[in-house]
Chain A
């Protein structure tokens, strides 16, 4: 894991410093002269050769010091990221929960009624969910449920500390927007795996022995079909933890994805490096979690 993080850190440092862009120029505004920019750059220590900045930065990283944000001087990078974690975590859990429940249920129903109108109907809906761009879906949901029938907020975020219901009301539309694509993926994967499992002899035997249909599907079939679905859920979880950039932007949610994009535009190097490092850690930990869940679902698996 340490090696992965080191490689990711070095890569992002090099890539960001190869890009044109200068935080001092952004700080001073578009009407600043080159002379003003050079002076501020020197004050901020950004005029040092890149290799010296790299040595400084590596030294700090090894000591676990991610440094301070350029645009929010009094805030350390972990502090800035922590500020954005709550929104990202809640949005992820909410939309992933929605996607998992609806996706697995739809996939199971479609597989157990294979070739029926339900199967075709579910699959049509999931195809549409994948095909609709989430920025369009988000804007349509805002138009429908925040402007035409104003029952939910159009944008923004209310922290959990200001009340659970208020927080949830801000997450409903973004979660649906975000869940749409994941629902389709999970449903299709569940359906395919279930169809595969339902053709096995032991399922036929269970049915022949008179075991109840629902018991056969959920106890015998789903448990054996779920492992690839868990992989998809795990990957979606890791993806979302890195921030759902488009959804966070459409709904102005102060999450990690939006932080990353804004930091790239302002060339806030320490924050960009910190966020990428955080995403790498999230991916690694979630992959580990998925592996552990595999062994719980299927005790035959060993590592």
Chain B
């Protein structure tokens, strides 16, 4: 009896002791520095001026817009105090602003800052330019009310206002005046962390903004309560993958993004580490030149599409299947916009069909110059081998991004290039629907569908239009969708509260001392 009792007591004590750390870590801790290794320095932190995802990883902690997306893609107010009051003709949006907001320089945010920011975004940002073609004016009604007047009904207004990557985040008016067109070199926002310093090619430091007024709604994606538990966030741009992984394993960094997927098996059971597989964030594409060279011929493009074996290509280029998936949609499966329209043409792996199409096209083995950057080279190589079987003469050229981006500007020099399209809350904001991308896609039907998609206010009608657009993509083949991809992230087990979402952000994250 005594022995049994002693054993039970020991077991209870052991349970209490061993469960203590796990229980203790659930309580957020304030303080500390989080060192984050990302795969490169962002080109700029001026979100208006770039579509580079890396910029948002840092700047998403610094800046906020009038609205923001929840995890499910719903739009919620952020710097606005409520949803806009929309006029009956749906042309006037009156937006009330929160009154207690301060910028990191201590200045209170008013409608003058919001107007200046929206106007600058409309001139500088590519999304802004697209939207402002349909905006009549942005006016200040009073210190805390802004009015946006549209020239015509435009369905993407709210999604655009809620967007962070390349979106209309709010800067102080003086920053907009000082940098009317060039990328800003001063980074003043309203977010939970404020910019401290950027040591070129070394690190970017943010610190907690004590004047931050968090919303009292529950945290959900970029909306709701944002708490800056950490004293500082330090971002290191490290392009060498082993350095990022070794850095977290050795304790020098707390978090690393874009960890090589083949490290997953080794790292997932390490007791001092945590691995995270991100949700699908983008998809690989082969963009084809519809204006010059052999790919100008639709049947050649259709033949290239017919050869595609998605599984083989993704496995060769992106490793284990847990990091990618086969899906024909121009929106992610997790989004309401997901569609299977035109899927019969996706993932055909039909070499005979491709041969027939090439014969009908009168293709005589003309060289197809195909450019691929480092991330996409292997999967392009795998796709090329199938195309070669069909008789396509592919000249696949590996090049670093700077050269590819520069060569891409001259459509006479290339016929295809590999790239990635990131998912957006509204499909009209994705590169998949951008008819000016690459060599451009001059297709009146696609243009009409895009315009209708943007002007149509009802979801059901918009969804139907998107389906038609997707079918058109699969029949005209301006680009070939390959597969959705995820990436591996790694942190020390001292890091808690990390929301493993599409983009990285570190508010609501804390670290054990």
Q: How far is the CA of A75 from the CA of B421 in the complex (A)?
A: 33
Contacts of A258 in B (CB 8 A): 201
Interface presence of A203 (CB below 8 A) = no
Report how many A-B pairs have Cβ atoms within 8 Å: 160
Q: Which residues of B contact A121 (CB under 8 A)?
A: none
B200 near A31 with CB under 8 A, answer no
Given that A156-B236, A251-B243 are contacting pairs, would A147 and B181 also be in contact in the complex, using a CB cutoff of 8 Å? Answer: no
Contact of B322 with A by CB under 8 A = no
Known: A36-B126, A153-B250. A27 touches B43 (CB 8 A): yes
Do the beta carbons of A33 and B202 come within 8 Å of each other? no
The answer to whether A83 touches B199, judged by C-beta atoms less than 8 angstroms apart, is yes
User: Contacts A33-B126, A34-B436, A252-B238 known; A26 to B401 CB distance under 8 Å?
Assistant: yes
Q: Does B211 contact A (CB under 8 A)?
A: no
> Does B512 reach chain A (CB closer than 8 Å)?
no
Within the complex, what minimum Cβ distance (angstroms) separates A262 from chain B? 5
Q: Which of B52, B202, B240, B436 has the most CB of A within 10 A?
A: B202
The residues in A between 95 and 142 inclusive whose CB is less than 8 angstroms from any CB of B are: 139, 142
Which residues from 2 to 57 on chain A have a C-beta closer than 8 Å to any C-beta of chain B? Answer: 19-22, 25-38, 40, 43-44
A20 touches B200 (CB 8 A): no
Q: Which of B202, B250, B409 contacts A142 (CB 8 A)?
A: B250
Q: How far is the CB of A269 from chain B (nearest CB, A)?
A: 12
Asked whether A153 and B252 contact (CB < 8 A) given A33-B436, A43-B181, A266-B43, the answer is yes
Residues of chain B with a CB closer than 8 A to A249's CB: 239-240, 243
Instruction: Assess whether A71 is interfacial by the CB under 8 Å rule.
Output: yes
Residues A154 and B252 in contact, CB atoms below 8 Å apart:
yes
Q: Would you call B53 and A29 a contact (CB within 8 A)?
A: yes
Inter-chain pairs besides A22-B406, A27-B183, A44-B182, 7 sampled, C-beta below 8 Å: A29-B43, A30-B373, A33-B436, A83-B199, A84-B200, A150-B251, A156-B236
B219 at interface by CB-CB < 8 Å: no
CB atoms of A267 and B402 under 8 A apart? yes
Q: Chain B residues near A142 (CB, 8 Å)? A: 246, 250
Is A146's CB within 8 Å of the partner chain B? yes
Residues of chain B within 8 A of A25, CB atoms compared: 402, 405-406, 408-409
Q: Which residue of A lies closest to B198 (CB)?
A: A72
Contacts of A265 in B (CB 8 A): 400-402
Given contacts A28-B50, A29-B50, A150-B251, contact A71 B200 (CB under 8 A): yes
Q: Is residue B249 within 8 Å, beta carbon to beta carbon, of the partner chain?
A: yes
**How many B residues have CB within 8 A of the partner chain?**
55
Size category of the binding interface on chain A: 35 or more
Measured CB to CB, the closest approach of chain B to A161, in angstroms, equals 13
| Alpha-carbon distance A62/B402, docked complex (angstroms) | 30
**A12 CB to nearest B CB, Å:** 17
Q: Are B243 and A155 in contact (CB under 8 A)?
A: yes
| A271 and B240 alpha carbons, distance in the complex (Å) | 22
Q: Which of B351-368 contact A (CB under 8 A)?
A: none
User: For window 11-42 of chain B, which residues contact chain A by CB distance below 8 Å?
Assistant: 41
Chain B residues with CB under 8 Å of A139's CB are: 242, 246
Bound complex: CA A156 to CA B53 (Å): 24
With A26-B43, A254-B199 as given contacts, are A32 and B251 in contact (CB-CB < 8 Å)? no
Residue of B nearest to A69 (CB): B200
Interface contact A21-B403, CB-CB below 8 Å: yes
Partner of A27, one of B49, B251, B434, B440: B49
Cβ-closest chain A residue relative to B411: A34
What residue in chain A is nearest B43 (Cβ atoms)? A27
B169-201 vs A, Cβ < 8 Å mask (1 yes, 0 no): 000000000000111011000000000001111
